[in-house]
Structure 1
Amino acid sequence: MWMLHTGHRTLREPTREQVLLVVQEAIAAGCGALSVEHEQGPILVVVVGGARAMVMRLAAAGDAGHHAIELAASLEPSERYTLTNSQVDQYADRDTVDTRHLVPIVTHFLATLDRWPGMPWQNDESVDEVPTG
């Protein structure tokens, strides 16, 4: 069973299409935060800020997880990201991805519970680890 969290709303057992619609709406709005959680534990967190997004895949709640990165992107932040608790963060562009990657990332997660292999991912528990693709 899946749960989709968007701000203060939770949708139980959303369809793939419902999840992707929320992702596409966040992309179109240039902002939005959501998480998709499976009953077996894996969680995908997406925070859209303009043309970029922070994407994290956690094995379970409390896990440091991995986040998708773009190695060629700037070490400087270019966007602001509003979290579900209204906190505003900034991340280096290298630690975020272009929003055009969100649909494939989310689609792959929904099908496999794993990270999309089309992007490198940084292990956030061991920041010295070489990113994997």
Structure 2
Amino acid sequence: MTETWVIDDGSRVAVSSAAVGETLRSRIVSGRFETWLTSTSGRSLAFVTNAERVMVVLFEEEGDPGEHAVTPGAEGSSGGFVLSNGQHDEYPDEDTVPLAEALRIVAHVVGRGSWPADAPVAVDR
């Protein structure tokens, strides 16, 4: 069975790798900075942004510490990551990626089920 992904907002409509970037951009424009995608295999993908940088985390199952996309050597930190519960977070820039890179990563995960080979990842397990 092929793994499919949906935006975890009550929708049961699968999102394609070709459409996921536009879907995420639309959510950002409407003020939704936290998006969760879930797959038919039980995996979850978190996308939390401040509209410039993104924390992208892939979880294999519930309770998994996951793994997240990184920007090795990036200095400083960025705030403005607004969670759906109203919490405002700040992350080191090394633990986030620029928006365009995050969209590329998410499209690859949705389409192929894995991180792009050239995307640095920190394993938190």
TM-score using structure 1 length: 0.79
**Residue 87 (structure 2) aligns with:** 87
**CA distance in structure 1 between the partners assigned to 2:50 and 2:31 by the alignment:** 6
What residue ranges of structure 1 are gaps of 5+ in the alignment? Answer: 126-133
How far does residue 72 in structure 1 lie from its aligned partner after superposition? Answer: 2.2
The within-5 A match list for 1:1-133 is 1-5=4-8, 9-16=9-16, 17-26=18-27, 32-74=33-75, 76-125=76-125
Deviation at 1:29, TM superposition (A): 6.4
User: 1:29 and 1:73, CA in 2 relative to 1: closer, same or farther beyond 3 A?
Assistant: farther
Q: What RMSD over aligned residues (CA atoms) do the two structures have, in Å?
A: 2.0
What do residues 25-46 of structure 1 show as CA deviations (whole Å, max 9, x unaligned)?
2455686111111121221110
State the structure with bigger RCO (CA 8 A, min sep 6), 1 or 2: 2
Q: Equivalents in 2 of 1:110, 1:77: separation in Å?
A: 28
Identity %: 26
Gaps of 5+ in 2: none
CA contact (8 A) 1:31 1:81 kept: no
* Paired residue secondary structure (2:118): coil
**Change in CA separation of 1:18 and 1:104 when aligned onto 2, cut-off 3 Å:** closer
Deviation at 1:124, TM superposition (A): 1.0
Partner secondary structure for residue 86 of structure 1: coil
State TM-score, norm by structure 2. 0.83
